[in-house]
Structure 1
């Protein structure tokens, strides 16, 4: 679900368009946008506190027909208000629920998305590491 939630709506729409004989999608709930409270913990394990609110979009769909052996249900929550993103994430979640299609979805859809996200994360981590300051060295220079 993390991979589907972090993928773009365009990536998921393209993956769905490339799917051979996609099943029918029926809306059960949404997509609909709302707010959730983001909570944190003092010192990562202490008292809880409300950090703020985040906008999320959720969708629940039923998939039937096509290559599915039986109807399946998929659901997704994504940050932001992109209804199409939540819709396709829920659809792929429903495909993952089908035992026959699970391996195909993992190999054909999720693996390429994970590789792309890992590559993007590596670039961002390298940029962050390049701004690292060694405060011990800075303090020793002023002594």
Structure 2
């Protein structure tokens, strides 16, 4: 089975956005059964966050954000795979979990079981958090109406 770059981008986004507690709950038991070789130990740095004016205009530098990254290799039955982990903040252990799961998800024999056991629940929880955030924002929305006066000419 060929894993596309788009699929990998999708699961990396789910893993990077998952809260620490949820990621620890699913990653800890899975990663304990496998051996990894460090390619790049966790390191923390800054990245520039860019934004757009009015969500569609010119880009500008909004500010800097702290990011932790790492890379590791897993030599499995499906060949060696390299996992990368990038997370906002300074949580090195979280970056390790993301990298380890990324490497395992690229193994053909482990892909489907891990997608069902790890990625699907984390994605559903992320969608529920986004929906709750959206509903909370919608409750506070203010609608302004303009009334046309009959005497204004």
Is the aligned partner of 1:18 residue 2:29? Answer: yes
Match of 2:40 among 29, 54, 63: 29
Structure 1 segment 1-143 matched on structure 2, within 5 A: 1-19=12-30, 22-65=33-76, 68-136=77-145, 139-140=146-147
**What is the CA-CA distance between 1:109 and the residue it aligns to?**
0.2
User: Does the Cα contact within 8 Å between 1:57 and 1:82 map onto a contact in 2?
Assistant: yes
Q: Is the 8 A contact 1:31 1:59 kept in 2?
A: yes
Which segments of structure 1 move beyond 6 Å, counting only runs of 4 or more?
Answer: none
Distance 1:21 1:54 in 2: 31
Q: Partners in 1 of 2:44 and 2:93 — Cα distance?
A: 12
Provide the TM-score with structure 1 as the length reference: 0.85
TM-score for the superposition, normalised by structure 2: 0.80
For structure 2, list consecutive stretches of 5 or more residues without a partner in the other structure.
1-11
Q: Tell me, what secondary structure is at the counterpart of 2:43?
A: strand
Q: RMSD over aligned Cα, in angstroms?
A: 2.3
Structure 1 unmatched ranges of 5 or more: none
Q: 1:46 to 1:129 in 2, by over 3 A?
A: closer
